[in-house]
Amino acid sequence: MSEPSSKVHRARLHEQVARNLSLSIIRKELEPGSLLPNEDELCQQFDVSRTVIREAIRIMDARGLVEVRPRIGTRICPPSRWALTDPTLLHWQLESAPDFRLIQNLYELRNMIEPMVAKLTTQRASDEEIAEICQVFEEMKNARTLEEHIQADLKLHLAILDACGNKLVRSPLRPLIENTLGSSFRLFIRSLDKAKQSLPLHEAVVEAIRTRKPEEAANAMRAMVTSSAEDVRKLEIEFNKNHE
């Protein structure tokens, strides 16, 4: 395996160690069924205490990446055991490599949920919440850099979600959007001009919400997510051609 960075910053050490080791697992530098190095080796490798290593392993264990076995050690789990909907784990997977199957799965999940969220928002959002959604869209239109556009795009999705009035939908979906949408945007949006091409699709969603037209909002959101998924499919084809 290629050794993760042996030194980490002092702030939130256990999270950084967990991230480094998790990326090694996701990239298959540590194979399923194999054992992590023991605590002493990991302490030396990362220049941290045993407490930090144990906390890092707890983070990974909670996400299904490893399994701690008394008197045996910490074994790497296969992907079938991973908590794939965990936002942090999804972020790490997107960070490690362009896993197109995972990304398409994310778009399928978005297509199942976000049209319903847009529909609910038209019915339940307060006037103030709708005004905020419109304001965020103005920020998207006026973005002068790609990063400003991405931040406003993410903020728009969150504003629509927050206004849907369903806590059971909002609670699990908000961290998922926060941790994955920004990452996927940065992976696949190459320029501000390209990003701006999606403005009419976003505007259709916002306008349907502003005028409180539930079915139009759902259909516009579905069209927007589907268009994004098609862009990713094109990039996957290009990526595969370049790596044949």
Q: pLDDT, tens digit, for every residue of 122-166? A: 999 999 999 999 999 999 999 999 999 999 999 999 999 999 999
Q: Which residue has the tokens 């996400």?
A: 63
Q: pLDDT, tens digit, for every residue of 49-66? A: 999 999 999 999 999 999
More confidently predicted of 201 and 175: 201
Is it the case that residue 182 has pLDDT exceeding 90? no
pLDDT of residue 240: 67
* DSSP SS3 for 73: strand
Enter the tokens of residue 67.
């399994």
> Residues with Cβ < 8 Å from 192, sequence gap 6 or more?
143, 144, 145, 146, 149
- Region 184-198: mean pLDDT is 84
Task: State the average pLDDT for the chain.
Answer: 88
| Chain-centroid distance, C-alpha 130 | 25
What is the distance between the alpha carbons of residues 60 and 110, in angstroms, rounded to a whole number?
Answer: 26
Dihedral of alpha carbons 89, 90, 93, 94, sign: negative
Angle between helices 146-162 and 127-142 (to 10 degrees): 170
